[in-house]
Structure 1
């Protein structure tokens, strides 16, 4: 008998519409958040995740079947999905929420789980690649929460990802002491770090093609989701401004000032 070939891998890439990395963050007028009336773009770590999914297909064309971009956000989040499609993703899923909504990490993880649970057969998602954190809230918890909800293995802070035949995945991850290599089997969650790759720019032909790619639009109630926040933000304030330094005339004076400050 001929051996049964493993099913091709379907990759899901969650992407977040966040405040652009080049924008100076300002506290909102109500003091309960940051000003969101500024330029937005795809979260940089998620951009790396999209790029990695595309590279995996380019390297493993016989292993990777599809790449789907998922975003949870207001109507404008569709632009973030279009960016992923222009880079090379095949299709998109948009879970719509009102402009002012705050969707917490556990709610995001639950939503991603719902999307995975509803996928079936040859279209079942086997691999989720997402940014290790979003630059607006810096939570860095969605990937781990998702792995826990699904009961899947995870490779976090990835600086290298290798998918092999048989569904084996090797992830090189960045840790305080250097690099650590972990090995797991699909299905798997991978979160991306900065040194994993350099995202490509979408070409004009691909931008035009992206307009014809399918984006499925869903509401939270379609999936039985409740995005009501569990936490209330009491106040947000800017850090205290740094005070100017002072000059000393001698080493003895420096030592005396350090002692007065309790450093020595």
Structure 2
């Protein structure tokens, strides 16, 4: 079984985000970029399934402009077998467009399982996996915290508000990963060197026949307001009085 893992290039999670002076978006120039952390979990799970003999190949795919291949190389250094780079002129492609592009890749590759991070840390949309499953007509399980593959089915334990839920899905299927699914491995130096020789197939987005025009318009971007200083109260009664003035009680 082949596993397809979409990965996204985002601002590194340890970098403090800065808004452009004109409010047109987040400053990306000279900013450290990395693979989306949830996608690292997806890559790790795919590799573990391959190591357990449940998969024969792990393919990493990413969509974006120049330097997007660096993110694919990271997945290859972790252990993925090959990569696919859907080249676009701009970053920030909307989730529905990403799902349509991925659908074309899935139709061409024929994987038995697609594993995505549940969301990207730059836009926090949490939509691409669900949209891809709908476009493909495949069963889906989101927020996976445990995965067990059977003969032609997959059992997925997912986190919900009331606790845990286990779903049995027929393959092929789409999964999105949660934080507690696994701990991603670090790429070793030998594997980083080997990744440089692994193939990355480049596909211009125009060849896939998907309209990349955005459907949403960004009006402005602002930084969150700073927290105001707190106060000390001398008694519970004074605390209640302040809470009433603040409209909490």
TM-score for both structures, normalised by structure 1 = 0.91
What is the CA-CA distance between 1:26 and the residue it aligns to? Answer: 1.2
What displacement does 1:187 show?
0.8
**Equivalent pair of 1:170/1:183 in contact (CA under 8 Å):** yes
SS of the counterpart of 1:64?
coil
Match of 2:38 in 1: 45
Q: How many residues align?
A: 248
**1:250 Cα deviation from its structure 2 partner:** 2.5
Deviations 1:86-128 (A, max 9, x none): 1111110001112x43200001100100111123xxxx21110
Equivalent residues in 2 for 1:156-171, closer than 5 Å: 156-165=142-151, 167-171=152-156
The question of 1:82 aligning with 2:76 is answered no
Structure 2 length normalisation: TM-score?
A: 0.97
The DSSP-based 3-state class of the residue aligned with 2:56 is strand
- Classify the secondary structure of the residue corresponding to 1:81: helix
Alignment partner for residue 13 of structure 2, among 21, 25, 35?
21
Equivalent residue number for residue 31 of structure 1: 23
Structure 2 residue 195 is the aligned partner of structure 1 residue 210:
yes
Task: Answer with 103-112 or 237-246: which moved more.
Answer: 237-246
Match of 1:91 among 82, 85, 91: 82
Distance across 2 between alignment mates of 1:204 and 1:252:
62
| Structure 2 CA distance for aligned equivalents of residues 252 and 210 of structure 1 | 65
Cα deviation code 1:208-261 (max 9, x no counterpart): 111111110011111112211111100011111111011223322222222222
Q: Which of these residues, 195, 205, 208, is aligned with residue 223 of structure 1?
A: 208
Q: 1:110 aligns with which of 100, 104, 124?
A: 100
- Residue by residue, what CA displacement relative to the aligned partner does 1:50-106 show, whole Å, maximum 9, x if unpaired? 0000000111x2x312110000011201011011111111110001112x4320000
1:72 corresponds to 2:87: no
- Which deviations, in whole Å up to 9, do the C-alpha atoms of 1:14-52 show, x marking residues without a partner? 000000000011112220211112100000000000000
Q: Is the 8 A contact 1:102 1:229 kept in 2?
A: no
CA distance in 2, matches of 1:239, 1:87: 35
Q: CA deviation digits over 1:151-204, x for unaligned, max 9?
A: 100011001111112x11000101111111111011100000011111111111
What secondary structure does 1:140 align onto? coil
Q: Give the Cα separation in 2 of the matches to 1:101 and 1:253.
A: 52
Aligned to 1:5: none
Q: Output the CA distance in 1 between the equivalents of 2:101 and 2:172.
A: 17
Is residue 101 of structure 1 aligned with residue 91 of structure 2?
yes
Corresponding residue number in structure 1 for 2:239: 254
Match of 2:207, SS state, is helix
